Structures are given as C-alpha cells and as structure tokens.
Structure 1
C-alpha cells in the first residue's frame, strides 16, 4: 500500500455535546460517560484504508467553552475536515451552529469539508429532529450524520465518509463507500506534543 496521506481534522461545537466521546469511540471503540471536560485541545490519530490509498486522520478535539475559543482557533489552520457537533437533546446547541460555522469560514480554507453531526441519538428526549439537522447541513453545504457516541452508531461513518469525500476532492478520483465494520488501524505512539497545531510535525 502507498504511504498514507495526512488529513487534519478539527472537532468543534458547544461544550458537553459529546465531542471527546465521539473521538474516544472512533479511536478506541469505547465510551466513557464520565469523560473530563476538554481543556484547550485533545488529539488522536487513526489510519483508514480506501483500497490502495491510506489516509491518516490527525484529529483535534477542541474545547467548547467560550473561555478557550481564542486558544482553539489557532488549531483551525491547516484543517481539511471538520466535524461540527451538536446535541440532538439540547436545542440551544443547535441554535449555536451558525456561530461555529462562522468561525470555520473565517479561520479555515474555503475547501474545508464540514460534517454536521447530531450526537446523543441514544437518548429518548429529542429537541432537534433529523429533518432539521439535514436541512441545516444542506443549506450550509455540509455533510450530515447522526451519531451516538455511547452505542457507536454512526461514529465511524461520520469520520470515514467525510475522509472519503476529502480524498476524492484531493485526488479527483472516485472511491467506494466503506462500511463501519471494515477494519481500520489505530496508530499508537503519537501524542499532542508530537504534532504542531498547523498539522505539521516538530521535526
């Protein structure tokens, strides 16, 4: 297989929408309901295979609190993909999407691929319908997914399908969709300190 391409991702949205839990589920296939609040940013890496193409996702999970926004904006630079996450059980997190989308438009490149993600679909109470999320994404030219970080439903799809779209934009070639159950590799040994905010390495 070829050497992996590297795609920098950022995960943004209000606090407590489940951004860190989505990342944990995607990277380690586990759910931690008592996950500590993100302070600044957290980082993870995973490789996905699209036939002979390997794509390494460098994923930056940003804090949702207002007090950290000036810090986390520095990590937007160089991103080619973004997950914009809201909580389907809290409408206020959906109402704040325009503010987050404005930040992405302001601090990221024009060809950024954004996936709108409605999380916590496992919970019975819902304040934002699937149709509302889909409509917002369509009008904003975003991909759209609903997920449950707890059950893992839709989590791989959100990351992998958005990576496929970025790969197609990058290469000009078409790649088939891959199923969540297909094997991908977790890359160990890299930490936040090993990677610069702009997606480069310290070497």
Structure 2
C-alpha cells in the first residue's frame, strides 16, 4: 500500500466530530435500501446488490455548518423472517430513513407498519425521512409523488424522492435528519447525554453545547476526500407540510 494511503487511514482514525448519531434504514425488501446507503457512503451505484441478511453497519462523517457529525448507519433486512432480529437495532436510533420503491406499490402500502415499529422502539425524539427510491424509473411509477407527500404530511415525516442509481438526492435524507436533530439539541428538546437519545457528544464538542453559538445551515455541504458535492433537495417536503 502506498505511503499516502496509510496517511489517509491514519487521518480517518484520528478524525474528530461534534456529535455521534445513530440512524436506521428500514423498508420492504427490494426497495433499494442497501443501494441508497452504498451510494451515500461510496458515491457510486452498487452493482449486483443482494438482499441484506440481518443487519449491516456503515458510518460516515458529514458537515453541517460548523458541526461535524458522525453517522452510525444500520441497514436492516426487509424480509419478514428477519424482523425479530432487526427490530432490536431500532433501539436508541435518533433518525430513521424509511425507504419505498416508487415502482412497487406494495412497498408503499406497508410503510405504516415500519414507521410504527420504529417509533415504538427508537428514541422518543426520532426524526423520520421518507424516501421514494428509484426516481429514475419514472415510466414504471406506481406511487405518485403527491400521494406519498400526503402520507408524509399525515405521519409527520419529511419526504423526498431519490435515485440510488443516478445518485440524485441520495445525500439529502441523511442531511435532513441530521439538521432536524441538531435543531432539537439547540432548542433543548433533545439531550445528547440522556440514555436512549440516539445522540452523543464527540471529542470535538467536549461535552458542551454553546447556546450562544447558532448552528449555521447556510451550506449543506460536507467534507470528503478528493471530491466536493452539492446537495439538491429536489421535490423535498418537510414534515407537517404537504403539496
């Protein structure tokens, strides 16, 4: 391995962050959860993806304003036979990415069950983002954007559509959830030191939340080696707002 690769690995190990947040990615099998997460982590489509068995773990550090946030990302299996196993990973989650396939109506019709389980087992301040995946397959659409938007408004979740194939809007759900969680911390509604909150302070925060220092969300960009992305919130519907 070249020396500069060793240096890069060492930098990752020494990486500091302000907050650590736990997310779960849930939804029916075949909705594209793993592909969505893979594109978010690696900035590339995952070829030859297979159904997740049980739970798979990933992580990534993002930047919101001046805050660096490390995301613990738990990708759960959508098959019924794994439900008893995957539900145990819901506990203590601060954010949930709820995924359905816009070309598969059944994956949309079962959303309520997934969301109910998450809210029953995760943090009481759980932030949910609904993602209509495979937006690149418009000709095969079975779930209209307006219908999903209404469901999201009725269930108090954020909503957007994305494509794990093209990468369109893949970053947005993870950043939206983090931003909502940070705002809850700043308002005092969420205490990172409370057990089960799904959030904890990182070394960079030194266990301080400076109320005089406002969180800046003027830029939803993040720091990653060798590339700079712009986040597009295309067709995003915030919680409590419909079309």
Does the pair score TM above 0.5?
yes
Q: Which has the larger radius of gyration?
A: 2
CA distance in 2, matches of 1:164, 1:175: 10
Does residue 142 of structure 1 match 2:157?
Answer: yes
Match of 2:27 among 10, 13, 27: 13
Match of 1:52 in 2: 66
RMSD: 1.7
For 1:178, the equivalent position in structure 2 comes to 219
- Runs of 4+ with >4 A deviation: none
TM value normalised by structure 1: 0.86
TM-score, structure 2 length as denominator? 0.72
Query: Could you tell me how far apart the structure 2 residues matched to 1:106 and 1:152 are?
Result: 31
Within the candidate set 170, 180, 200, 1:165 is matched to: 180
Give the deviation of 1:171 after TM superposition: 2.1
The alpha carbon displacement at 1:33 in A equals 3.5
Deviation at 1:183, TM superposition (A): 3.8
Moved more, 157-166 or 85-94: 157-166
Secondary structure (helix, strand or coil) at the match of 2:50 reads coil
Give the 5 Å matches for 1:120-135: 120-123=134-137, 124-135=139-150
Measured against aligned partners, the alpha-carbon deviations of 1:104-131 in whole angstroms (never above 9, x if no partner) come to: 1221122100001100000121000111
Task: Flag structure 2 segments of 5+ consecutive residues without an equivalent.
Answer: 1-14, 188-213, 226-243
Change (3 A) 1:177 1:91: farther
Distance, in Å, in 2 between the alignment partners of 1:156 and 1:3 is 19
- Partner Cα separation in structure 2 for residue 27 and residue 37 of structure 1: 18
Aligned residues: 184
Per the TM alignment, residue 52 of structure 1 is displaced from its structure 2 partner at its CA by 2.0
Tell me whether 1:83 sits opposite 2:122 in the alignment: no
Assess if the C-alpha contact under 8 Å between 1:161 and 1:177 holds in 2: no
Matched residues in 2 for 1:31 and 1:156: separation?
13
Task: Out of 105-114 and 73-82, give the one that drifted further.
Answer: 105-114
2:78 to 46, 64, 82: 64
Mapped contact 1:5–1:56 kept (Cα < 8 A): yes
Report the 3-state secondary structure (helix = DSSP H, G, I; strand = E; otherwise coil) of the residue aligned with 1:121. Answer: coil
Distance 1:57 1:177, change over 3 A: farther
